[in-house]
Structure formats: C-alpha cells, structure tokens
Amino acid sequence: MNMRNLMLFAGVAILFVLTGILQSWNLSLSILNMALLSAIMALGVNIQWGYAGLFNTGVMGFTALGGLAVVLVAAQPVPEAWRAGGPGVLLALLVGAGVLAAAIALHKRMPRGRMRTITLLVVLTGGFFLFRALFDPNAEAIEAVNPATSGYMGGLGLPSLWAWPVGGVLAAAAAWGIGKTALGLRSDYLAIATLGIAEIIISVLKNEDWLARGVKNVISLPRPWPVPYEVDLQQDPRFLQVAAEWGFDPVTGSSILVKLLYGGLFVAVLLALIWLSERALNAPWGRMMRAIRDNEVAASAMGKDVTGRHLQVFVIGSAVIGIAGAMMTSMDTQLIPGTYNPLRFTFLVWVMVIVGGSGNNWGAVLGGLLVGWLWLIVESLGPIVMSGVTASMADGPLKAHLVDSAQHMRLLTLGIVLLLVLRFSPRGLIPEK
Amino acid sequence: MDLVNALVVFANFVLIPATAYGAQLALGALGVTLIYGILRFSNFAHGDTMAFGTMVTILCTWGLQALGVSFGPLPTALLALPIGIAATAALVLGTDRIVYRFYRRQKAQPTILVIVSLGVMFVMNGIVRLIIGVNDQNFSDGERFVITAREFKAATGLAEGLAIKTTQAVTVVAAIVVVAALFWFLQRTRTGKSMRAFSDNEDLALLSGINPDRVVQITWILAAALAAIAGVLYGLDKSFKPFTYFQLLLPIFAAAIVGGLGSPLGAIAGGFIIAFSEVFVTYAWKKVLGYALPDAWAPDTLVQLLSTDYKFAVSFTILIVVLLFMPTGLFRGKS
C-alpha cells in the first residue's frame, strides 16, 4: 500500500461521501453494500484470472448457487412437503449421482471399444429413466403442498450466517465438476463451459420449484445474526432514546443502522478474504501460481502439476464468489432467479477486475468499489441527467425513447471503459507488483 | 398403429423446426469458426453482431414497409438484408481497425482478445438496446405459410396436418445458398485459398506473399454477412429480442466446438447436431408414440425427456461430452 493507492481508495471514499451528502445516506450505503459484495466477487475472479490466467465467465452461476445456499440453510422447513416427497427426492438425487459414478467407473475399468460404449449408453439411458421415475412423482408431491405459499421443501431453518460458507462449498463443488472437464484444454473452452454452466444453474433455479420455488421466488428469508429489523428498532425504546438524543428521524435512522451493520459484516468478510489472499499470493504457492500463469511449459518442466493447480485455484476463486452470492441473498432476504443477468453478475465483475488491476487483490477491491458505485449511481442519476439533457426538446416519441434508454447507456459506457483500460492501461489502476 | 400419421407429426413438430433452427445455428457457427480460424480467438461479440445486423435490417424493413414496398409472398426483410449486411460489415471493420488491430500487431494472447471482444460485446449490446430497445420485435410479413396444416389435411386426407412456415422455407433455402457460395469462395477463389492457407499456417502464408490485412478484412466481412443473415433468419422465424441473441452465443459456440473450431464443415454439422438434440430432448413425444406404437402401449405421460427451459443444458451436455472425448471436435478443428 503506497501513497498513490491510498489516494485512490480515498478518492472512492469521497465518491460515496458525496453521494451521501448530495443524494441521501441511505442510497449511498446501499450502493456501498452492493459495491462491497461486488468487490468480494472481483476478488474471487482475480484469484482465478490474476493468479492463474483462468477465464471464468460463469460468475453469475456461482453467485446464484450462493443464493441457493441461503434458501437451503436458512429458510423455514416445510414439514408437510418433507413428508410428501423429501426422502424420495433425496433418494432420486442419490440414485442419479450413483448412476454417474457407475458410468465413470465403468469408463475407467472397461477396455476401449464398442462394448464399453454400448454399456455406458445403456447405463446412462437406463439411469436417466430410473431417476425420472423416482424423481418426478416426489417432486410433484412436494410442489403440490400449498403451492401458493410454499410448494417447496424449505431449508433447515438455521441461522443465515451459516449459509455463507455453505454457498462457498456449493460453488466450489460446481467449479470442481466444470474444471475437471474443461481445464487442461484451450483457454477459450473454459470460458464457453462456464458460460454454459451459469445459464444451466439459473434455469435449474427457475424451473425446479421443489428446490427453491422457481420463478415464484423465495421471500422473507431471515436476516443474518446481528442485523435487526427496522420495524423492531422503531419500537425499541433504547433506540428511540438514542435517536432523540442525537436528533435524527427514527425511521431513516433505523434503515441506516441496518445498512451499516450489513456493511460492517461485509467489510469483515472482505478483509479476512484479502488477508488470506495476500498471504497466499506472497507464499511459495502464490509464486508457483504466477510462474504457471506466465509460462506453463517452463512450470510443468519444473515438475509443477499445471492442470491440478489450475483446478485448485479455480475451485478457490469460485468458492469466494459463492460466499459473496450467499451474502447478497441474505442481505436481500429473498431469492429471485429472474434477476440474475450475465451482464450484471458476470461481465460487470470482469470490468471491475480489469479496471482495478488484475493480479492485485487491492486493485480488484478498488475496481469493485469504483465500478460498483458507477453502475448503481448511473441507475439513479441517468434518467435525471437524460431528462435534463432533453428538457428543451418537444415532448414526443423521440424524447420518451431517449429518457427510457438512459439505462442502456451504462452498457455502452462500461464497454468503452473496458476497451479504453485494456488499450491504454492494461495493468489497471493498481497494477500487479 | 398408424405410421404415416406418426411421421407427419414427427415432421411437423421435430424435423422441420429443427432443420430451420439448425440452419440458423450453422450460419452463426460458421461466422464464429471463420473468426477463430483466421484471427485465432473466440469472438464473444458474435451474438451481438447478429443482433446489430438484424436491427439494421428491421429498421430498413420498416422503412420499406412505410414506402409501400413489399416482396410479394416473401418477407420484406429479405430486401432490406443487403443493407443490414453492409452496415454490419462496416461496423466490424471499424471495430477491427479501432480495437482488434492493435492487439493483433502486439501478438496478444488469445484470452486477452476474448476479453477485448467482451468489451466490444458490451458496446454493441448498448448500441442495439439504445436504438431499438429491449423488447420483442416481430418483423415478418408476406405469406405466413407455404403449406398450412388444413391444406395438407385436405390434400392428403390424413388426420394430422403438416405446416411449413414461409420463414422456415426461406431459412433453409437461404442457408443452402449461403453455404454453397461460402464453400465455393473458400475452395475456388484466390482470396478464399489464401484465407485457408493463412488459417493452416500463418507464417508460411506470410512467406508466400499473402497480405494478412486483406485476409483479416475479408474474414470480418464474411463473418459480418453470416452474422447478419443468421440473425435475420432467426428473427424472422422466431422474433427479435437483443437478450435472446446474446443467449444464442452458447448454442452457437457449442455447435462450432462440437464440429471442431476452425472447420467450416464442422460448424454446419455442429449446428444441426445441436439443433436436433435440443428439439429431440425437449419435444413431448406422446403424440408421435401414440401413433407409432400399438394402442396398448400408447404412453399416457408426455414422454418429454427434459422441459424446454433446459434447452441450454442440452447444448451444454453435448459440449462437455465432446470436450471430454474428442477435444478437437468431430471434424478435427484446432485443439
């Protein structure tokens, strides 16, 4: 951390303070919380791209898996649904996994040839129909239980904080599966494969109603441990007394306090992750990763297992993204699969990493905070600016179109920012040491 | 058992839609594979290039319709298509000049170029949304059907109908013409041969006096033409929505990789493999099986292997299987 980097962080802090003064502290803090989450995601992408040169375009999918973890861990269980089909669904999933394991074992054990292909096809096709036969009736039974209010199995009813590591584990498991197949091939293949897995994770979330209610969304998930509800705060005499002493409105004050508490939690996680990443980066492991990134041939000639290390770093980075995804859902207290959009959750995070400085953890965090602020502030300022610009125009379809299209300007702007940074400052704001 | 009706239902709901969709994917994958073969990177902006070409075509179509011009029974969009192609070509040539050329001169790594293409994708996506908005646009006009289900039933006396939409017929005919022209160009003309030589061995091609800038320009023009045509055909057949075009990236790349990146023949085969698998797996086979099997065996469920929402999973699974067992694809593309 030298003077220049501190100035950069101070500059970003000033942006948030100005937002607070000129617009509202509520807005500033909610942007800050989202930006902190984005910074954690950017940290995860930086672990993959900056340390190892892996191109992951499935950030959205790992984020959504983190969100799913919150539902599975923290949502209230639905006992009737469990009785209706819980064990059956679990059994079906186990059978499905067993079929895949059997197919992999057969593939390894049997000699190459037509016999193996036929056996594998029979096992996989038979397994698929067996899975469907076990799965479908149970899933339907679960979805039939009070479809308007539940219609899913619910979670374990545990504290929301526990979902954060679970989100990391879910994302890591998915990353292991995808890395096992696509790593070691051309670098572009990982990009395409992760792009695909992200779309599939979202379509699973949208369609498997028994799991997380699909497009009916899971709402009112519990908040993580120290964060109270605004309504409770506003009736808490101690809080009201403090509010009266300091002279602020209890309603605004309660929502600011809640956001501050979330922000505190996020900062704690972010700092812990940065500390771990910095330790790893400066350890022999980090030097090995950079050696592999800079020259794979030389590193493997030195006896380093390039594909194995790549798999490791891919899983770790995805786990960090999964944790951030879980944190996001536990802040929103709802899981809405329809809101996961690759431009917002995958490519925006990439812009953050590149703008901030790939290979440098502080750079990724700075990029996350700066681009996160830019993205969200334009959402609230864009229409205002656009209507200011078009104020002198006559009312008509063109003016309406321009005001409506303000939100698309940010795609254009971000694309141009990304291209400019790549061209003129490819090492980003805080370059790798 | 009634095999004739089973075949008609099969053709109506599986064969014809999958063929049209396959032709659209094949055209898209051809563009991706050409860029990959010559410029050696996966162009993530291809879906949005398709969207841009389609958008220009739609705007011209509206203009023509306002002027009262029509193309008889065929969609007016076909008249506007050349302008769409020209605009797309101008756009990608400009992009190449401003953005990609710098990295090519630097001999940047392919991954850097892929990230650069992400930036281009953002910009194109923004332009398209800015100009035409995010909503569905339906711009198909002219005669809707070549054969309607009712005419077919009346002509053959069968219980099931077979409908062929004009757009489906146009798609297949256009795809055949475009592919034939492209292969003729690559195999027979001097420029096409120099492109193939450049793709096979860049250094050797440069030594034999091939002008790399020209090869790159021709490649971009071809890719732009293919993207605009694929986009317009897809939009005519279904509808135009910017986000759908972005999502087409996955099946298109799956098609190109399954066929073998860099292999034009592979891209066509891959397009049809992906399209047919998607339709096969997500179609409810109840009706076909009801006709094809003896009455006692007729299924009482839908016999749908996966719901249509999982069509991405199909292209993805094929992609993974190919990556696992033959990473260079069916037609031995570049690994």
**A433: pLDDT strictly greater than 80:** no
* Mean pLDDT of the region A199-217: 85
Q: Would you call A350 and B320 a contact, using CB atoms and an 8 Å cutoff?
A: no
Q: Would you call B129 and A196 a contact, using CB atoms and an 8 Å cutoff?
A: no
Please classify residue B175 by burial: count the beta carbons closer than 10 Å to its beta carbon, then call 0-12 exposed, 13-18 middle and 19+ buried.
Answer: buried
Query: What are the phi and psi torsion angles at A218 (to 5°)?
Result: -100, 120
More confident residue, A188 or B51: B51
Burial B69-78 (b: 16+ CB within 10 A, else e): eeeeebbbbb
**A114: pLDDT strictly greater than 90:** no
**A309: pLDDT strictly greater than 60:** yes
Q: Which of B305, B316, B324 sits opposite A200 (nearest CB)?
A: B316
Rounded distance, CA A19 to CA A31, Å? 9
- List the 250-309 stretch of A: residues with Cβ below 8 A of B: none
Q: Which of B102, B126, B250 sits opposite A195 (nearest CB)?
A: B250
Q: How far is CA A61 from CA A324, A325, A342, in A?
A: 12, 9, 9
Rounded distance, CA A74 to CA A69, Å? 8
Residue A185's SS3 state is coil
Please classify residue A284 by burial: count the beta carbons closer than 10 Å to its beta carbon, then call 0-12 exposed, 13-18 middle and 19+ buried.
Answer: exposed
Please classify residue B190 by burial: count the beta carbons closer than 10 Å to its beta carbon, then call 0-12 exposed, 13-18 middle and 19+ buried.
Answer: exposed
**B255: pLDDT strictly greater than 70:** yes
What confidence tens digit (pLDDT) does each residue in B288-324 have? Answer: 888 888 877 777 777 787 787 788 888 888 888 888 7
The nearest CA of chain B is from the CA of A331 a distance in Å of 28
Minimum Cα–Cα distance from A54: chain B residue? B111
Element (H, E) at B10: helix B3-10
Pick the residue of A358, A371, A410, A411 with the most B CBs within 10 A to test the interface with B by mutation: A411
Q: Is residue A60 within 8 Å of residue A198, measured between CB atoms? A: yes
Residue with tokens 């679990």: A90
Looking at beta carbons, which residues of chain A come within 8 Å of B99? 419, 423
What confidence tens digit (pLDDT) does each residue in A120-156 have? Answer: 889 888 998 898 888 888 888 888 877 777 778 878 8
Minimum Cα–Cα distance from B120: chain A residue? A415
Q: Which of B42, B254, B324 sits opposite A181 (nearest CB)?
A: B324
Q: Would you call B246 and A342 a contact, using CB atoms and an 8 Å cutoff?
A: yes
Average pLDDT, chain B: 88
Q: Would you call A53 and B313 a contact, using CB atoms and an 8 Å cutoff?
A: no
Conformational region of residue A333, where left means phi above 0, alpha means psi within -120 to 50, and beta covers everything else: left
In the DSSP assignment, the letter for residue B146 is E
**B335: pLDDT strictly greater than 50:** no
Q: Would you call B119 and A200 a contact, using CB atoms and an 8 Å cutoff?
A: no
* Mean pLDDT of the region B93-108: 92
The nearest CA of chain A is from the CA of B142 a distance in Å of 28
The nearest CA of chain B is from the CA of A56 a distance in Å of 11
Please classify residue B201 by burial: count the beta carbons closer than 10 Å to its beta carbon, then call 0-12 exposed, 13-18 middle and 19+ buried.
Answer: exposed
What confidence tens digit (pLDDT) does each residue in A341-398 have? Answer: 888 899 899 999 999 988 889 999 999 999 999 888 877 777 777 777 777 777 777 7
When pLDDT is cut at 50, 70 and 90, the band that residue B334 belongs to is low
Least confident interval from A160-169, A315-324, B122-131, B310-319: B310-319
Q: How far is CA B118 from CA A222, A398, B248, in A?
A: 37, 30, 15
* Mean pLDDT of the region A187-204: 86
Which pLDDT does position A275 carry in this prediction? 94
Looking at beta carbons, which residues of chain B come within 8 Å of A418? 115, 118-119, 122
Other C-beta atoms closer than 10 Å to the C-beta of A102 total 14
Query: What are the phi and psi torsion angles at B181 (to 5°)?
Result: -65, -40
Q: Would you call A189 and B41 a contact, using CB atoms and an 8 Å cutoff?
A: no
The nearest CA of chain B is from the CA of A311 a distance in Å of 16
When pLDDT is cut at 50, 70 and 90, the band that residue B18 belongs to is very high
Rounded distance, CA A181 to CA A184, Å? 8
Q: Which of A57, A181, A200 sits opposite B313 (nearest CB)?
A: A200
Looking at beta carbons, which residues of chain A come within 8 Å of B261? 188
Pick the residue of A121, A348, A412, A423 with the most B CBs within 10 A to test the interface with B by mutation: A412
Which pLDDT does position B309 carry in this prediction? 79
ipTM of this model? 0.87
When pLDDT is cut at 50, 70 and 90, the band that residue A109 belongs to is confident
What confidence tens digit (pLDDT) does each residue in B147-176 have? Answer: 888 888 888 888 888 888 888 999 999 999
What confidence tens digit (pLDDT) does each residue in B207-242 have? Answer: 988 888 999 999 999 999 999 999 999 999 888 998
Q: Is residue B331 within 8 Å of residue A215, measured between CB atoms? A: no
Looking at beta carbons, which residues of chain B come within 8 Å of A354? 115
- List the 171-210 stretch of A: residues with Cβ below 8 A of B: 181-182, 185-189, 191-193, 195-197, 199-200, 203, 206-207
**A199: pLDDT strictly greater than 90:** no
Which pLDDT does position A321 carry in this prediction? 96
| Percent of chain A clearing pLDDT 70 (strictly above) | 99
Contacts of A101 (CB under 8 A, 6+ apart): none
Contacts of B218 (CB under 8 A, 6+ apart): B191, B195
- Interface check for A339 against chain B (CB to CB < 8 A): the answer is no
Which pLDDT does position A376 carry in this prediction? 85
Dihedral of alpha carbons B43, B38, B112, A187, sign: positive
| Percent of chain A clearing pLDDT 90 (strictly above) | 34
The class (CATH top level) of B3-248 is mainly alpha
Looking at beta carbons, which residues of chain A come within 8 Å of B124? 415
Looking at beta carbons, which residues of chain A come within 8 Å of B254? 192, 196
Pick the residue of B52, B130, B334 with the most A CBs within 10 A to test the interface with A by mutation: B130
Which pLDDT does position A145 carry in this prediction? 79
In the DSSP assignment, the letter for residue B284 is B
Domain ranges of chain B: 3-248
The nearest CA of chain A is from the CA of B267 a distance in Å of 16
Minimum Cα–Cα distance from A344: chain B residue? B122
Least confident interval from A326-340, A367-381, B75-89, B171-185: A367-381
Looking at beta carbons, which residues of chain A come within 8 Å of B130? 405, 408-409, 412
Which pLDDT does position A156 carry in this prediction? 87
